């Protein structure tokens, strides 16, 4: 049963905090969120970030489409000083859906136009864009590539959930081929090529994505892979290291960042119970292998320290697998359509995110981390964010799907000291439901916020509902 968010005051949240035995902090003073912060060679004007979120609204050839550009223009005008551009495939075959954007020579002009329009909107709304960082996330979807799974390791917990043949529903078995070491190394120039185009288009940074069990994240936990990209911690981090070093060498002046899982967890079944496993588990990143429902940041800390020496300037800390364990990454009020009811109080999930990220931020106080997991707190999101920044638990507050309902949240906070309560995201998962809807002529519906962006996404939502209503029943 869904746990409804009924908290009307901070006092009620403090009382729930005590009842659950967790350690969330809140503040009415929003000033920490508007302190400048140096990231690499740039000083950003506030501590507010738009998380990378796919709109699933690109063209079939990978260009940002009208809704994509509209979304970023709204983010640009909204006032957050870090806009973390969404997952962008480094090559066609690794797209997560047929409308995921792809940066290449053919799509480059549209990306460049999107950057120009976003920065223009930011200047017009916020006086200057000199203190704005706008970046792009570079991804290989790996196991979740939509044409076919591309895997780097056999995971006994995920393979039975990974469909190898959409016609028959056959899942991955031990005979399914892994990417070879040579195929993995061949990805390096692809990342470099896209990074060069991103810099040329006007992006300030690229994110070498290592999260949510996509390819590089899966490689981080591939203890059972043989060869130079598996087994030992040094081997498992070898490919992202080589990619980062190549970008730094061949694209000078471009900032390098990463969004990385700090805890993978394990898959959960439709009834909200974790799949059966026998410890120690052989795959996974940031997990206690004997108790994979708990984080262990030993390896994560080592790799962050290595990335710091490689010149990575900013880390976005996240958790979980949106396809198999969404509650770890996005504590929710209502589950996504392919998900399950939350197996724990969502505030426990929020606390896990905050405390694990805080451990890492305190280990590396000079390396800014962006925090995740705030949206469940709804109108109290930034009370928690301000307290966490104040207390040195995190440097930047990231806002994901909650920014779709209120893309001007930074302006609202700056002008009014609070959010527009009528547009606060209630974590109903409409946006995720749209992401999971595939049954149109493009193979993917555009994702947005039907309740609070009704003019654009209301008709799309109604179309999805109509198709579901007419689906044949077995």
Return the closest-CA partner of residue 387 out of 409, 355, 411: 355
C-alpha to C-alpha distance for 72 and 434, rounded to whole angstroms: 19
Tell me the chain's radius of gyration from C-alpha atoms.
21
CA 91 to chain CA centroid, nearest Å: 19
Question: Over the stretch 71-85, which tens digit does the pLDDT of each residue have?
Answer: 999 999 999 999 999
Beta strands in 369-432 (DSSP E): 369-371, 396-399
Average pLDDT over the chain, rounded to whole? 96
Q: Is 209 in contact with 259 (CB distance < 8 Å)?
A: yes
What confidence score (pLDDT) does residue 49 get?
98
Residue 471 has pLDDT above 80, yes or no: no
Mean pLDDT confidence for 399-408? 96
Rounded to the nearest 10°, the torsion over CA 197, 121, 87, 113 is: -30
Which ranges in 79-186 belong to alpha helices (H)? 108-126, 181-185
DSSP-derived pairing of the beta strands 37-39 and 42-44: antiparallel
Question: Over the stretch 153-175, which tens digit does the pLDDT of each residue have?
Answer: 999 999 999 999 999 999 999 99
Question: Over the stretch 358-374, which tens digit does the pLDDT of each residue have?
Answer: 999 999 999 999 999 99
Domain boundaries, the chain: 10-469
Identify the DSSP state of 218: H
Reported CATH class of domain 10-469: alpha beta
Model confidence at 427, in pLDDT bands (50, 70, 90)? confident
Residue written as token pair 């984080």 = 295
Question: Over the stretch 267-306, which tens digit does the pLDDT of each residue have?
Answer: 999 999 999 999 999 999 999 999 999 999 999 999 999 9
How much of the chain, in percent, has pLDDT values that exceed 90? 93
Residue 441 has pLDDT above 80, yes or no: yes
C-alpha to C-alpha distance for 362 and 366, rounded to whole angstroms: 9
* CA dist list (Å): 257 to 110, 181, 246: 23, 24, 14
Q: Is 181 in contact with 174 (CB distance < 8 Å)?
A: no
Contact partners, residue 169, CB within 8 Å, separation at least 6:
163
What confidence score (pLDDT) does residue 335 get?
86
Model confidence at 338, in pLDDT bands (50, 70, 90)? confident
For residue 99, whether the previous peptide bond is cis, meaning omega lies within 30 degrees of 0, is no
Using the Cα atoms of residue 285, residue 299, residue 258 and residue 256 in order, give the sign of their dihedral: negative
**Phi, psi torsion values for 405, nearest 5 degrees:** -80, -25
Q: Is 179 in contact with 151 (CB distance < 8 Å)?
A: yes
Residue 63 has pLDDT above 70, yes or no: yes
Mean pLDDT confidence for 174-190? 98
């Amino acid at each position: 049963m869904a746990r409804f968010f009924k908290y009307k005051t901070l006092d009620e949240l403090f009382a729930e905090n005590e009842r659950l035995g967790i350690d969330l902090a809140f503040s009415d003073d929003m000033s920490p969120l508007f302190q400048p912060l140096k990231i690499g060679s740039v000083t950003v004007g506030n501590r507010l970030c738009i998380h990378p979120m796919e709109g699933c609204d690109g063209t079939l050839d990978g260009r940002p489409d009208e809704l994509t550009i509209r979304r970023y223009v709204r983010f640009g005008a909204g006032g957050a000083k870090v806009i973390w551009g969404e997952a962008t495939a480094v090559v066609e075959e690794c797209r997560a859906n047929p409308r995921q954007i792809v940066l290449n020579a053919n799509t480059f002009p549209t990306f460049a136009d999107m950057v120009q329009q976003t920065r223009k909107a930011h200047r017009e709304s916020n006086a200057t864009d000199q203190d704005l960082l706008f970046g792009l996330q570079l991804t290989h979807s790996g196991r979740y590539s939509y044409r076919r799974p591309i895997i780097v390791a056999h995971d006994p917990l995920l393979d039975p959930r990974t469909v190898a043949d959409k016609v028959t529903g056959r899942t991955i078995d031990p005979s399914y081929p892994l990417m070879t070491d040579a195929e993995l190394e061949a990805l390096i120039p692809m990342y470099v090529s896209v990074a060069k185009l991103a810099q040329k288009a006007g992006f300030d940074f690229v994110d070498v994505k290592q999260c949510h069990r996509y390819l590089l994240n899966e490689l981080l936990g591939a203890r059972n892979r043989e060869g130079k990209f598996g087994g030992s911690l040094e081997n498992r981090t070898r490919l992202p290291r080589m990619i980062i070093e190549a970008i730094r060498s061949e694209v000078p002046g471009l900032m390098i960042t990463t969004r990385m899982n700090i805890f993978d967890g394990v898959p959960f079944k439709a009834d909200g119970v974790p799949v059966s496993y026998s410890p120690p588990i052989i795959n996974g990143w940031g997990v206690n292998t004997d108790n994979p429902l708990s984080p262990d940041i030993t390896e994560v800390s080592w790799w962050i320290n290595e990335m710091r020496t490689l010149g990575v300037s900013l880390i976005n800390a996240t958790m979980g697998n949106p396809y198999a364990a969404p509650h770890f990454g996005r504590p929710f009020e209502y589950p996504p359509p392919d998900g399950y009811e939350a197996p724990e109080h969502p505030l426990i999930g929020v606390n896990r995110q905050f405390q694990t990220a805080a451990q890492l931020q305190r280990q590396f106080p000079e390396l800014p981390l962006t925090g995740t997991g705030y949206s469940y707190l709804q109108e109290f999101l930034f009370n928690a964010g301000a307290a966490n920044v104040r207390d040195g638990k995190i440097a930047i507050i990231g806002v994901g799907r909650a920014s779709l309902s209120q893309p001007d949240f930074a302006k609202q906070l700056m002008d009014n000291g609070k959010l527009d309560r009528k547009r606060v995201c209630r974590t109903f998962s409409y946006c995720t439901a749209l992401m999971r809807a595939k049954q149109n002529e493009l193979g993917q519906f555009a994702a947005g916020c039907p309740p609070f962006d009704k003019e654009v996404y209301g008709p799309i939502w109604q179309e999805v509902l109509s198709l579901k209503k007419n689906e044949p029943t077995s």
